[in-house]
């Protein structure tokens, strides 16, 4: 408590400082002295991120970027971060044996979620590494009649669900490998690698309420799919991914998968209801809002809306009390409109006006209502300021305008 008060006084002595950190565009959060008394025992980490103007943190509605850890996952990981610190590959003592047992238990938990055999799961540092392993296989095994199809199960920008089972059927009949990046889908919609004829699947820990820095790749054994290792070394993970397996992280991934399996139905029902509420309330109160992506084959937790005549970035800045994004985190530093929206044929101007709302396991009705209220308020306000909107209200067809060059 004293540490934190001293830190605030030091900050208050200077004028509002620029936000430290990466060069990525800031969201307008400024350092400010607040006068509300700290209420708890000294926080573990006093070098916290700058607070929002009122000293309160924004709501989190960006679950496609990353998710908070489920308390049950942290609980499972703790022993391996504190006392059970053995290397899972040490064969000669209890530290190694117990760590290995935990790793194999986690492997079983991941396999069980997707209907696979534990021997088909290789732990990696995340879905990106898994994707690279899967694609490298193509170069290694290329023959005139071999190729690879790689499709995202659930798109991370617009939430569209791809027809995985149908694609799997086609690939299997044509003897073509089928890989899917299931980072946004695992634990949220039912997946079975046998039913859907999936040969390779990428899994990410931090998208399913697990820790960051861990993932897995599913590699089918029957019929055998051969992959080439990206990194060589001690031959861990059957030679497919050398490097000490990080026991605490894989235990977290396993726990996240087990919790997801138990909670999938409950979460899906709740998230669908909240998603419906968000979309209906926004569309009821604002004209000219378009939902991007096929509404029928859609994962409800990822809602991507375009607000005509409003610039996406300015709406994001206005909604500073809600953590949102206008596309995938992977591409957020560039100013180009989303490649996904362009691919589905969205108009340039609508693509620039899109916002992605993420609804997850911990999202509450209050958070959705707050977000909707702020969104409606700011869209109306921004439209009032927009000359384009004024022209539309006057009945002018924007497409008929011949813009002159200066």
Binding of residue 72 to other proteins (CB under 8 A): yes
Binding of residue 39 to other proteins (CB under 8 A): yes
| CA proximity to 217, closest of 235, 197, 240, 200 | 200
In the set 370, 386, 388, 391, which binds other proteins (CB under 8 A)? 370
> Does the annotation count 330 as an active-site position?
yes
Binding of residue 6 to other proteins (CB under 8 A): no
Nearer to other proteins, 134 or 256 (CB): 256
Cα→Cα distances 39→5, 54, 65, 357, Å:
11, 16, 30, 31
In the set 6, 26, 48, 234, which binds other proteins (CB under 8 A)? 48
Binding of residue 50 to other proteins (CB under 8 A): no
Nearer to other proteins, 289 or 322 (CB): 322
Binding of residue 28 to other proteins (CB under 8 A): no
Binding of residue 273 to other proteins (CB under 8 A): no
**Residue 150: left (phi > 0), alpha (psi -120 to 50), or beta?**
beta
Binding of residue 8 to other proteins (CB under 8 A): no
The DSSP element (H or E) to which 12 belongs, if any, is helix 2-13
Binding of residue 83 to other proteins (CB under 8 A): no
Binding of residue 82 to other proteins (CB under 8 A): no
> Which of the stretches 46-54, 121-129, 195-203, 397-405 binds other proteins when contact is defined by CB under 8 A?
46-54
Binding of residue 71 to other proteins (CB under 8 A): yes
# residues contacting other proteins (CB under 8 A): 32
Q: Interface residues for other proteins in 295-324 (CB under 8 A)?
A: 321
Which of 257, 302, 330, 375 is catalytic? The answer is 330
Tokens of 267: 């979460």
Rounded to 10 deg, the angle between the 365-384 and 247-285 helix axes is 50
| CA proximity to 246, closest of 80, 363, 382 | 80
| CA proximity to 11, closest of 45, 43, 47, 41 | 47
Nearer to other proteins, 6 or 170 (CB): 6
Nearer to other proteins, 95 or 370 (CB): 370
Tokens of 395: 């009945």
Binding of residue 74 to other proteins (CB under 8 A): yes
Binding of residue 266 to other proteins (CB under 8 A): yes
- 323: which strand partners? 60
Report the alpha-carbon distance of residue 55 to residue 403 in Å, rounded.
Answer: 45
Binding of residue 55 to other proteins (CB under 8 A): yes
Judge contact between 334 and 24, C-beta under 8 A.
no
In sequence order, the 6+-apart residues with CB closer than 8 A to the CB of 172 are 178, 197
| Least distance in angstroms from the C-beta of 11 to other proteins | 14
Binding of residue 7 to other proteins (CB under 8 A): no
Please list, residue by residue across 222-233, b when 16 or more beta carbons sit within 10 angstroms of its beta carbon and e when fewer do. eeebebebeeee
Q: Interface residues for other proteins in 349-368 (CB under 8 A)?
A: 361-364, 366-367
DSSP per-residue string spanning 154-178: B-TTT-BBP-HHHHHHHHHHTT-EE
The CB density around residue 248, as the number of other CB atoms within 10 Å, is 21
Binding of residue 78 to other proteins (CB under 8 A): yes
Q: Interface residues for other proteins in 210-239 (CB under 8 A)?
A: none
Nearer to other proteins, 83 or 364 (CB): 364
Binding of residue 60 to other proteins (CB under 8 A): yes
Judge contact between 304 and 293, C-beta under 8 A.
yes
Binding of residue 347 to other proteins (CB under 8 A): no
Residues that bind other proteins (CB under 8 A): 37, 39-41, 43-45, 48, 51-52, 54-60, 68, 71-72, 74-75, 78, 266, 321, 361-364, 366-367, 370
Tell me the catalytic residues: 330
């Amino acid at each position: 408590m004293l540490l934190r008060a001293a830190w605030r006084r030091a900050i208050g002595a200077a004028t509002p400082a620029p936000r430290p950190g990466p060069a990525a565009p800031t969201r307008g959060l400024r350092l400010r002295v607040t006068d509300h008394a700290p209420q708890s025992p000294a926080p573990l980490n006093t070098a916290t991120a700058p607070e929002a103007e009122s000293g309160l943190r924004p709501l989190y509605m960006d679950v496609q970027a990353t998710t908070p850890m489920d308390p049950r996952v942290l609980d499972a990981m703790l022993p391996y971060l504190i006392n059970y610190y053995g290397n899972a590959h040490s064969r000669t003592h209890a530290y190694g044996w117990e760590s290995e047992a935990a790793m194999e238990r986690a492997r079983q938990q991941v396999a069980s979620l997707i209907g696979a055999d534990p021997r088909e799961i290789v732990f990696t540092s995340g879905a990106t590494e898994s994707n690279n392993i899967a694609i490298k296989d193509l170069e290694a095994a290329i023959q005139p009649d071999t190729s690879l199809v790689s499709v995202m199960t659930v798109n991370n920008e617009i939430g569209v669900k791809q027809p995985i089972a149908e694609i799997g059927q086609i690939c299997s009949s044509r003897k073509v490998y089928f890989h899917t990046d299931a980072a946004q889908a695992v634990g949220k919609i039912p997946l079975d690698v046998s039913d859907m004829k999936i040969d390779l699947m990428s899994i990410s820990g931090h998208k399913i309420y697990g820790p960051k820095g861990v993932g897995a790749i599913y590699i089918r054994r029957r019929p055998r799919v051969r992959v080439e290792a990206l990194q060589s070394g001690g031959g861990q993970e059957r030679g497919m991914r050398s490097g000490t397996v990080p026991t605490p992280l894989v235990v977290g991934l396993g726990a996240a998968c087990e919790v997801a399996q138990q909670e999938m139905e409950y979460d899906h029902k709740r998230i669908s209801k909240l998603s419906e509420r968000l979309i209906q309330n926004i569309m009821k109160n604002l004209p000219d809002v378009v939902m991007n992506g096929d509404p029928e084959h859609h994962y409800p937790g990822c809602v991507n809306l375009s607000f005509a005549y409003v610039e996406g970035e300015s709406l994001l800045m206005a909604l500073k009390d809600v953590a949102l994004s206008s596309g995938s985190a992977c591409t957020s530093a560039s100013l180009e409109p989303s490649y996904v929206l362009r691919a589905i044929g969205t108009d340039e101007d609508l693509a620039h006006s899109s916002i992605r709302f993420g609804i997850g396991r911990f999202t509450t009705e209050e958070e959705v209502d707050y977000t909707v209220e702020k969104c409606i308020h700011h869209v109306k306000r921004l439209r009032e300021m927009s000359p384009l909107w004024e022209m539309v209200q006057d009945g002018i067809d924007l497409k008929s305008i011949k813009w002159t060059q200066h």
